[in-house]
Amino acid sequence: MNWTLVSPFNQLQLTNSWRKCTGTYCGHMENGTECGSCPWGTRVDVNDNRDSLCSMCTITPSLHGWMYLGFTVMMPMVFFLFNFPSSPLLSSVTHSTCPNNPESSSSNRNMPTAIVQSPILLQDQSSCVNPARTCKYLSWGLVYFALHCLSAFVTILLFPPLGSLNLYSCVPQKLEDFYAPFLIVYGCPSEVVFPYLSLPLAYFAFSIFGCVLFYLAILLTPSDSVDLSKWLHVTQLSLYAYPVLGLVVFIFGGVLYYSYPYVILILAVIHSVYRFPAIFDYCAPTTNGSVLPVCHPLVVIRSLFCVPEPALALTLLVSLFCFGYSLVSLDISTVWVFVFTFVPFLFYLLTLPFTHPFATSDGEERLQLALMRHNGTDSFVVSGHHRKQDVSQERATQPDSTNG
């Protein structure tokens, strides 16, 4: 029988080095320190019941992790693009007519109210869009996009490994890992899911600094085309939006990490249901500035590729990007990603003839439309319902005119 003599000092050191800490996320370093919070960039493996050592996070983020970080990067960009001061390009999507064009104003008086008030593009934008002003707004949008890309680039460089575009991460093992900073009652509050909490917060900090400088530069630009009130509103909005977004990521980061593909997918479906009818249902402009309801998928395809409009292409690209991003985040086959990305728009095209049945079933109106196009005098053709109302109104006013 062999006996091993262990001194009290070595026994104490061995006990301190391999003992199990009581807290779930409490650990100690390899040199036998006391149990406590693990340093930044380290964590305790909760599935290892043998010890509570704080190990360095040296694993590259998975595809799901990279896509989540990209989702947090896009959150402020999407938020501010929807609140960006309106440009002629954006105004063409949300307003049906140009107020500075008297011809379109007079022609719209004879159009049905439901059509005039539709938030769609009703006419050619060349008559009410200043190309120089549009280019300036687009250049500001590109600078705004570049600022956020630069903020994300600098943030990644400052995280371990320092100066590299690669990242070290701790793989989230369960939902509770995101809420370890709140476990002050149990002690050992730390970022267990490094860097899925600290990196978005650092990115928001750099973004708010860059955007405030960008907005101040625009406000100081000596130009009459700059609407100071709108840009001041955006500047004030940024001072509140970034802290709110940071608070959302800090509190709901765990829920977003596991559910953001489905969140993007639901938002993409809502966007398609709302924007596709508003943009594509009336994209057949006539010569007098009015539009006709689309009743054939080829009309939409021609509007997208033959005579492309920025509003139509932008709406389709946003929809395809959201569907594709959510499907890639679900880590499914690449073939199915390409297939399902185009399914919503193809489904809309196939069901488009059923959207406006009066445009396909009323042979008289189709004949009238064909004759007008043949004679070169295209005009808006009202539906049978509006025509009957006009006839009844004329009959009601006819006795008054005869008596007069």
Residues 333 and 236 occupy one common structural domain:
yes
Measured between alpha carbons, how far is 18 from 6 in angstroms, rounded to an integer? Answer: 16
Residues 106 and 32 occupy one common structural domain:
no
Residues 189 and 107 occupy one common structural domain:
no
Helices (H), 281-383: 297-305, 310-329, 334-341, 343-350, 357-361, 363-375
Residues 212 and 68 occupy one common structural domain:
yes
**Per-residue pLDDT tens listing for the chain (404 residues):** 444 444 444 444 444 445 677 777 888 776 666 788 888 888 887 666 567 788 888 899 999 999 999 999 998 887 776 666 544 334 444 433 333 333 433 444 343 333 333 333 333 333 344 445 545 556 666 777 888 899 999 999 999 988 888 999 988 888 888 888 776 556 678 888 999 999 999 999 999 888 888 878 877 876 666 667 777 777 778 788 899 999 999 999 999 999 999 999 998 888 888 877 777 666 655 555 555 566 677 777 777 776 656 667 777 888 888 899 999 988 888 888 888 888 888 888 888 777 665 544 444 455 556 656 656 544 444 444 444 444 455 555 555 544 44
4 Cβ partners below 8 Å, 6+ apart? none
Residues 34 and 67 occupy one common structural domain:
no
Residue 308 within any structural domain of the chain:
yes
Q: Check: CB of residue 75 under 8 Å from CB of residue 51.
A: no
Residue 85 within any structural domain of the chain:
yes
Residue 209 within any structural domain of the chain:
yes
Domains of the chain: total: 2
Tokens found for residue 313: 């292409």
Residues 177 and 107 occupy one common structural domain:
no
Q: Quote the distance between the C-alpha of residue 158 and its chain's center.
A: 26
Residues 177 and 199 occupy one common structural domain:
no
Measured between alpha carbons, how far is 319 from 193 in angstroms, rounded to an integer? Answer: 31
Residue 293 domain boundaries: 63-159+195-383
Residue 13 within any structural domain of the chain:
no
Residues 291 and 317 occupy one common structural domain:
yes
- pTM (two decimals): 0.69
Residues 50 and 70 occupy one common structural domain:
no
Residue 5 within any structural domain of the chain:
no
Write the DSSP symbol of residue 87: -
Residues 188 and 126 occupy one common structural domain:
no
Residues 211 and 335 occupy one common structural domain:
yes
Q: What are residue 28's DSSP bridge partners?
A: 53
Residue 340 within any structural domain of the chain:
yes
Residue 307 within any structural domain of the chain:
yes
Measured between alpha carbons, how far is 27 from 38 in angstroms, rounded to an integer? Answer: 6
Residue 14 within any structural domain of the chain:
no
Residues 48 and 74 occupy one common structural domain:
no
> Residue 139: what are its φ and ψ, rounded to 5°?
-65, -40
Which residue has tokens 């390899």? 30
